Chain A
Amino acid sequence: MKILLTVVLTILWSANLPGQVSYQRILNADDEPGNWLTYSRTYNSQRYSHLDQIRKDNVKNLELKWVFQAKSLENFEATPLVVDGIMYLTRPPNVVVALDARTGRVFWTYHHKVPKEVSVCCGLVNRGLAILDNLLFLGTLDARLQALDAKTGSLVWDVKLADFRDGYAVTMAPLAVKDKVIVGMAGGEYGIRGFLEAYEAKTGKKAWRFHTIPGPGEPGNETWEGDSWKTGGGSAWLTGSFDPELNLLYWGIGNPGPDWNGDLREGDNLYSDSVVALNPDNGRLQWHFQFTQHDVWDYDAVQIPVLVDMEFGGRERKLMLWGNRNGFYYVLDRTDGRFLLGKAFAHQTWAEGLDENGRPIKRAGAEPSVEGTLTYPSVQGATNWYSPSYSPRSGLFYLSVWEYASVYYKGDPTYVRGERFIGSFPRGVYPDVMVDTDPGYGAVRALDPKTGERKWEYKMTSVTEGGVLTTAGDVLFSGNMEGHVFALDVFDGSLLWSRNLGGRVISSPITYLVDDKQHFSIVSGHSLYTFVLKD
């Protein structure tokens, strides 16, 4: 009896403990619009919030409430988590901060010292944390996974995932599913062989590993010439999605390496530039869909898989919506990966189109060359890692877009451990260094998810690395490289509100409640800004 009472009390105590984030809470995150419990808010990664205090008609009344300064000049790319009024975020390079979401005042800070020798292509960045129960999970630039006590920031466990001297690193926010935390490897520019791994959240014990490049004897290894699979990249540097009904994880996989010279890796190069569907319990592959076979433009398919249930082709289907870096918008059936629709959402010159299976028909002469080949989209892609969004109220899919070309050069790659293994580098990456007479532009676009047809566009002089958030107030929040954060009408893209915060927005905004009041937070430059409606 005493034992039974203890068990019952323990269960009740656990269920009511403030700040403790059970799997059930993440699973039902839609029931807690006041919190932001996982990277994309919900497992379906729609980045849509049910909060509606900030609406189309009052968003102009937003005012700054507080600012958190990151004390780092590296790119600040994190999406924070918010749990019952506590915000958890990472600042560069691998610093975790817990702060009061009401005031921005810091409770505790955890510093992970990053070795100077780490190899990362694109800055000492980190995109956020996962939380499960009372543990926060941090992937580090020296390829470690760490669990911290959410109350104190104390290190609870710490495992080495790979040797950072081989070019491995973690820049993504991990994903907590059931009793596991899942993490993947960056390093596609350093000749890694990418993988996703799951760890028991409580103990740090490894549960499974999925190699994004199959080894000898495994299906798909034949898509790599000779030993090229050993250094073929296939990184996973952004967070995946999860369908609990199908019990499938969906994860986008990065480019094959070397990036811009495919001569050493003839073949389709599976599972680079693919989405893989994995069983979260054992990491086994259920299906895959490759967007860009034998990529030579660095068109990573790491984008966030957006999971939507809707009528398509005359019946209700479980869909996956995907605006790809290669310039095409895709609709897949997420039960089996079947290709349902593909349509260009930005100017592209590398493919004649897609065939009936979604395989691109490549255009002759678009590949990198010694002299340089001008090809759309640019090396930054037609879109990239910045989160897209789907609003069930508008029924539209939203994403940030670059209309931009690069001149792709083909060089001579040589693998040297821990060094860049890329085969040249394209010119024309950012408009502020472009010398061409037409520097391109950026935009937020709304697509009809069933057809890929563009419904509207919010055009910007510069480009954007800001993710998109939509809300039940029919407001779309984002930001751009000019330093503007802005709110658009989800139905027609008209500008409702804009503020110049002066620093590039290179992360995705969030919204949450504190004291029952809707807050909106976004990073600009090296600071996180939080806005609320004027009283």
Chain B
Amino acid sequence: MRLLLVSAFFLTWVTVGVAEEPENTNPHTTPEDVAAGGRIYRSHCIECHGRDGTGGRGPDITRGDLRYGNSDAALADTISTGIPGTSMPLFFFNGKQLWQIVAFVQSLQRDEPEPPGDPVAGAAIFGGKGGCVTCHMVDGQGGRQGPDLTTVGARRSLRHLRSAILEPNQWVSPQDWKIQAKTKGGVRVEGIRLNEDTHSLQLLDSKDKLVSLVKGDLERYRIIKVSSMPAYAGQLSQSEVDDLVAYLYTLRGKGASP
């Protein structure tokens, strides 16, 4: 398992081009520091990363497999500067508090759990019965109307993956919002909301075309904040869901899938 972890991390490192992490030892790692970090974590991090760190709207941070690095220094950097383009903001803590949070996050690290199902069977469901590939892309193959799942196994816990399959509406983020618009000329446009400002909307329409709409040209528009993914509760058997979860859990970046 450890070898798998190291391999997975190495592949992720290669794929996303993370810079070599500097040596840095956390100066605040006593049990009191961990407890203090835990208090800050509970007030600031829990909503996205969950009480035990296995994720929610944010990724699972318990598996030593973070996209922007797992060292103390890398964690401190991520917390204090945020991750542009995501919901991870920068946090405004002094040095000691920052290291205490790092100490707490490191205390959450654990061995990876074994997925319950068969990833090969799950891959077949993903591409076949489940119809997932119609909307989701993996390693450059698939649709664009749902989130790209190429690295979803590195970011999400087994519990989250299962929940996202059975109750997708629980996990809709602003990046997943859609737009329905009707122009003054009567043309209807629907797609994923990529951007918006006071005067315009940018979207990927249902035919994968990038469209920019001027609000002044529209008769009306509305933002849809619920998932358009079907809930698979009742659509797939328990064991099929297990298989699908197991497959998604293997998705750690290009070349890492079975």
Contacts and interface: CB of A to CB of B under 8 A. Distances in A.
Interface in B54-94: 57, 82, 87-89, 91-94
Main secondary structure of the interface of A (DSSP, over half): loop
A375 to B, nearest CB: 15
Interface residues of B, number: 27
Contacts of A439: 174
B48 A435 contact: yes
A424 B44 CA distance: 9
Interface of A: 121, 189, 370-372, 409-412, 414, 416, 419-422, 424-425, 427, 429-430, 433-435, 437, 439, 459-462, 480, 482-484, 498
Nearest to B48: A435
Contact of B196 (A422, A434, A437, A461): A461
B95 interface: yes
B43 A372 contact: yes
9 contacts: A409-B43, A414-B96, A424-B40, A425-B91, A430-B89, A435-B57, A459-B198, A461-B198, A484-B198
A461 B95 CA distance: 35
A433 B82 contact: yes
Nearest to A433: B89
A188 B61 CA distance: 33
B20 interface: no
A499 to B, nearest CB: 11
B36 interface: yes
A422 B93 CA distance: 8
Contacts of B225: 437
A495 B189 CA distance: 26
A372 B94 CA distance: 19
B44 A433 contact: no
Nearest to A458: B198
A425 B94 contact: no
A191 to B, nearest CB: 10
B174 A371 contact: no
A442 to B, nearest CB: 9
B199 interface: yes
Interface string B143-185: 0000000000000000000000000000001100000000000
B114 interface: no
B93 A482 contact: no
Contact of A420 (B44, B94, B198): B94
Given A416-B96, A419-B96, A420-B94, A498 B174 contact: no
A189 B92 CA distance: 10
Contacts of B40: 411, 424
Interface string B189-205: 00000001111000000
Interface in B14-73: 36, 39-40, 42-44, 47-48, 57
B94 A370 contact: no
A484 B92 contact: no
A425 B92 contact: yes
A121 B88 CA distance: 19
Contacts of A480: 198
B194 to A, nearest CB: 13
A483 B196 CA distance: 12
B198 A462 contact: yes
B94 A416 contact: yes
B178 to A, nearest CB: 14
Given A409-B44, A412-B36, A461-B197, A420 B93 contact: yes
Contacts of A460: 197-198
A435 B87 contact: yes
B9 to A, nearest CB: 27
A450 to B, nearest CB: 30
A498 B199 contact: yes
B94 A421 contact: yes
A403 to B, nearest CB: 14
A434 B199 contact: no
Chain A CB within 10 Å — which of B40, B44, B82 has the most? B44
Nearest to B89: A433
Contacts of B48: 435
Given A372-B43, A462-B197, A435 B173 contact: yes
Contacts of B39: 370, 411-412
List 5 A-B pairs, minimum CB-CB distance, nearest first.
Answer: A419-B94, A433-B89, A482-B197, A420-B94, A425-B92
Contacts of A414: 96
Contacts of A433: 82, 87-89
Contacts of A424: 40, 43-44
A370 B40 CA distance: 9
Nearest to A409: B43
Contact of B89 (A411, A429, A437): A429
Contacts of B88: 433
Contacts of B174: 434-435, 439
Nearest to A424: B43
A459 B197 CA distance: 11
A425 B80 CA distance: 12
Contacts of A429: 89
Nearest to B172: A437
Nearest to B197: A482
Nearest to B173: A435
A435 B44 CA distance: 13
Nearest to B57: A435
A131 B149 CA distance: 58
Given A419-B94, A419-B95, A427-B89, A370 B43 contact: yes
Contact of A425 (B36, B82, B87, B93): B93
A483 B92 CA distance: 26
B192 to A, nearest CB: 17
A121 B93 CA distance: 10
A372 B93 CA distance: 16
Nearest to A428: B89
B41 to A, nearest CB: 11
Nearest to A431: B174
Contacts of A409: 43-44
Nearest to A122: B92
A371 B96 CA distance: 21
A411 B38 CA distance: 12
B44 A484 contact: no
Contacts of B44: 409, 424-425, 427
Contacts of A459: 198
Nearest to A483: B197
Contacts of A410: 43
Contacts of A419: 94-96
Contacts of A430: 89
A419 B97 CA distance: 10
